[in-house]
Structure 1
Amino acid sequence: MTDTSTSPRRAARPPRAPRRDAAENRLAILDAAISELNHNPDASLETIASAAGLSRRSIYGHFSTRDELIAELNDRGIARVTAALTPIRHADARVALALVGARLWSEVEDVRVTAQLAIRGPRREIVAEGLEPVRRGLLAIVRQGVGAGQLRTDIEPRTLARLIEGAAVSVLDEAVRDDISYEEGHRLVMLVALSTAGLSWREAAELIDASPELALEAQPEASTSLSAHSSGAQA
């Protein structure tokens, strides 16, 4: 009698993990891109590859175009900013608002040129969509403050939230233009956000000085290096 049984199917092989050197090279490229683009927003892939200690051929194995590289930098930046800002809560909406400004500055200060390029550049609509959770959080803080009588009530909350966002971004523009210090930018972004929200300059300064959680040393240290963040890499 003929044996018609079949042997068990070979189990599907799990996807191969990226080679360690490929993953490390990709992160080296991204870290080099942050550094080079902050010195020269027009830096080429070849310049970035050289800064990463890699050949031109190596970088094209990971990113076929400069736009593709910048897109990944944007995506990682969005994720980092969202993770830092969306958890912010405080019983006093004024303090919460200042914290949003302070944490935002902490995340973008060392990458101010590439951050400005992301917000103002050709991918600004994609970046804006990615930052929507941050905008929702800001609007919630504004509504909290308006409801509690802590923030101005003469402007509709959604409009006020957009104006506060614009004020914070203007600090980034000024930081790129005038190369302001980390300490100066930290205080400035809180002052302009609070002033836009309805506080006088004296009230804003007094609130900042009286709130330990707003002190420069109280802010979490941002990591602009990408070595702690893994992503798909190519061999």
Structure 2
Amino acid sequence: MPDMGGRHGYESTRWGTVFVGCMALRGLPGPNGLTGTRSCARGHALRPEARPWTVGRPPDAWPPSARSPFLTMSMHERREALMAEAYASQLIQAPADVVWDRVGGFDSLPRWHPGIVSSERVTRPEPGPGPLRRLTTRDGEVYLEARLAYDPNARSYAYEMLEGPLPVRDFVAKLRVTPVTATGQTFVEWHATFSLTPGHEGEAAALCQWIREELFARGLRGLAHTFLPPPPRVPAPELEWRR
């Protein structure tokens, strides 16, 4: 089994039960039966003693059955081998259509995500599959994202992060709203896959935890909070004036 290098589990909040999880895929087995490490995402685990005929010989001189895919793949393939993912979900006390009306708009994040203060439409410099948005966070960070897919019937949309302060590339995320027919509630999922930019590969676990907790789980808790009934108003005590 590969070492997933992350954490996952259920967290109870006042808004319901939220599942959060992240993975940094580090140990997919190669054809030689060995498992990778942090420095070798898949294939040979850099253990020459396991294959005596590899000692002192470069990888390109090893028999094909002993060569690690990670040692022979292209840089693009290596990046794919180091893909990570982040996931969070939230149960919301409202019907799915009502929830989708609130989250389905590509510019709706500032209305329910506590960490996003603005979302602006950006004109595409060249034709593309969907609209662009520029998000600004409460910390002043800016993200440029493009919508890749939109399916109102399935209550979901997918987007790609094009620019931002995070050391990631190939960041693709999906937000999906699903009705819980037995109770009339709604199950909302937010999921992303991405790879680390060169020099940041060792930060995969910490980064996917930050995306999971600060971006996804925090946002979904904020969404659930918008559906809470307002607190009961307590009338102010009457003041009696006496002469």
TM-score (structure 1 length as normaliser) = 0.22
Which one has more relative contact order, counting CA pairs under 8 Å at least 6 apart?
1
Higher strand share: 2
TM-score (structure 2 length as normaliser) = 0.22
